[in-house]
Chains A and B, each alone.
Chain A
């Protein structure tokens, strides 16, 4: 019958959603498209929505909506209708549970069979978000559209039971049926098409949202893992994927060591200020030396696991890396830094310090020359003339690379011996001051790294606003870790 067909076609886009389609709602088609819907056809019985009557109402276009009996609108005007196209509530429903078409079978005559099938589905799926439809009956077009979009968003909260299905079906049989003209048919077909397209767009959008959500959670997990590995520590290294497990472990241990370093330094500070006895201060100084012994121990394992991580200084901050020598600080540089600040020294102490500086320099020079020979040997191997056996060449090169570990270990050994010798030359108080100076020096160097990274790029700022954002982000990121050292 005409009536039902109208209902079908019109309601193809606006059929009631099934139970499990929670965020699609029953927005009357008329409401969506600003058609007038006769109030009388909105039944007042409970939450159920009478579709049959609405079908008729759609065709009867001249009927005005009456406001007085309308339920108050759920939503205020002014909400963006932008999402409406994306979330047409009606379209999806017709795909839901196909029900028996017994009822509508005999009633549809005019349009194609496809329409009939659809109609049967929509008729039987009278899961009403009917309160909504009732409420929209009195709204003007904008409000209706707004509410439609909001209703799509609010989901099942509006969903009422389909309890009234049976009585509705019965009622449908009693509605009057009108003739459909070609114009109406065409319009309804167009609407159907538009609704279908909206449906597809919506589906695509939702899928995109879902995949983005998954990606986001994955990124968050990676970030969490990287943070726990002390990744941001040196403001260093590439992405998380580029860091070896040995390197990651060492970075983590090193960040913990830095925290301990802070503790030791404050102990030294309070010990000095409190004018503790020499024996008490000696305990603190010795514990600080043990603290350094620990990092050298950790570096032994790290050199075995990932020597390049150590020797390229990826575990340090950029400014420290600038002064890097064979995977760490250069002992003679450290002594040079200390010499002027360790006053007053006895003559014997001065000689001891200068002698230490001298022997340290000689040892550094010897190791550097040894490493240079290793480099040259490696160049010869890899460059190597006519390559008869590439794998053999690589194997030889790998064997030579293995010597790197030994050099980093000897360099760390030199660093450790230098610190021990310092504590032997100096008195307890001098040693306490000395180690405090060392800790503060490297702390300042680390701070310099983060300040450098977050410095405002004046020349760029004047031209390009976006650069400003970048530097601000940079400021947020490293300063947290570097300033924590203080």
Chain B
């Protein structure tokens, strides 16, 4: 798991993304890495989803929106995307939206998660 961002002006910022529309930023960030998780550092369910991927041997890219200066905008954009007042954590695999925790779990149980991970190059067996 690694936290994305350049050290710029004294704090971490997502690269190449100054001034863009939040939704665009979301899409861009989601497609840059195989597994992308938008999270809150204090959220326990976010911790659970991170543990799930780590337990599977996957190395997800995590964006802690409470530590991002424009995290609130991203969160709002995700809210609109998911139609949910509590959008975090949310997972993208291979640039595709998987969903919140319940969708991630469902896809893992019904066996669709692992193939997606493999397809995105996040998992080797």
Residues of A within 8 A of B (CB): 352, 355-356, 359-360, 362-363, 365-367, 369-371, 373-374, 377, 403, 406-407, 409-410, 413-414, 417-418, 420-421, 424
Q: Is the CB of A410 within 8 A of B111?
A: no
Knowing A362-B56, A365-B55, A421-B111, the reply to whether A370 touches B48 (Cβ < 8 A) is yes
Q: Is the CB of A373 within 8 A of B105?
A: no
B45 at the interface (CB under 8 A from A): yes
Q: How far is the CA of A420 from the CA of B44 in the complex (A)?
A: 27
Q: How far is the CA of A366 from the CA of B55 in the complex (A)?
A: 8
Question: What chain B residues lie within 8 Å of A369 (beta carbons)?
Answer: 47-48, 51
Q: Tell me which of B49, B105, B113 contacts A413 (CB under 8 A).
A: B105
Q: Which of B42, B45, B55 neighbours the largest number of chain A CB atoms within 10 Å of its CB?
A: B45
Q: Is chain A's binding surface mostly helix, strand, loop or mixed?
A: helix
Q: Tell me which of A366, A373, A414 contacts B109 (CB under 8 A).
A: A414
B80 at the interface (CB under 8 A from A): no
Q: Report the minimum CB–CB distance from A400 to chain B (whole Å).
A: 8
Q: A366-B55, A374-B44 are in contact. List 20 more A-B contacts (CB 8 A).
A: A352-B111, A359-B113, A359-B114, A366-B48, A366-B51, A367-B48, A369-B51, A371-B48, A373-B47, A377-B42, A377-B44, A403-B44, A406-B45, A410-B48, A410-B101, A410-B102, A417-B106, A417-B110, A421-B109, A424-B110
Q: How far is the CA of A377 from the CA of B48 in the complex (A)?
A: 14
Question: What chain A residues lie within 8 Å of B105 (beta carbons)?
Answer: 363, 410, 413-414, 417
B52 at the interface (CB under 8 A from A): yes
Can you report 18 residue pairs joining A to B where beta carbons are below 8 Å apart? A352-B111, A356-B111, A359-B111, A359-B113, A359-B114, A363-B105, A369-B47, A369-B51, A370-B44, A371-B44, A371-B48, A373-B44, A374-B44, A377-B42, A403-B44, A409-B102, A418-B109, A421-B110
Q: How far is the CA of A110 from the CA of B43 in the complex (A)?
A: 97
Residues of B within 8 A of A (CB): 42-45, 47-49, 51-52, 55-56, 101-102, 105-106, 108-111, 113-114
List of 8 A-B pairs having minimum Cβ-Cβ separation, nearest first: A370-B48, A366-B52, A417-B109, A374-B44, A369-B51, A366-B51, A373-B47, A373-B44
Q: How far is the CA of A362 from the CA of B109 in the complex (A)?
A: 10
Question: What chain B residues lie within 8 Å of A366 (beta carbons)?
Answer: 48-49, 51-52, 55
Q: Is the CB of B108 within 8 A of A359?
A: yes
Q: Is the CB of A403 within 8 A of B45?
A: yes
Q: Report the minimum CB–CB distance from B117 to chain A (whole Å).
A: 12
Q: Is the CB of B44 within 8 A of A410?
A: no
Q: Which of A352, A403, A417 neighbours the largest number of chain B CB atoms within 10 Å of its CB?
A: A417
Q: Which of B47, B51, B105 neighbours the largest number of chain A CB atoms within 10 Å of its CB?
A: B105
Question: What chain A residues lie within 8 Å of B109 (beta carbons)?
Answer: 356, 359-360, 363, 414, 417-418, 421
Q: Report the minimum CB–CB distance from B51 to chain A (whole Å).
A: 4
Nearest residue, chain B, Cβ from A413: B102
Question: What chain B residues lie within 8 Å of A410 (beta carbons)?
Answer: 45, 48, 101-102, 105
Q: How far is the CA of A421 from the CA of B101 in the complex (A)?
A: 18
Q: Is the CB of A363 within 8 A of B52?
A: yes
Q: Report the minimum CB–CB distance from B49 to chain A (whole Å).
A: 7
Q: Which of A360, A363, A377, A420 neighbours the largest number of chain B CB atoms within 10 Å of its CB?
A: A363
Q: How far is the CA of A129 from the CA of B95 in the complex (A)?
A: 101
Knowing A371-B44, A410-B45, A413-B102, the reply to whether A355 touches B55 (Cβ < 8 A) is no
Question: What chain A residues lie within 8 Å of B51 (beta carbons)?
Answer: 365-366, 369-370
Q: Report the minimum CB–CB distance from A346 to chain B (whole Å).
A: 16
Q: How far is the CA of A406 from the CA of B100 in the complex (A)?
A: 12
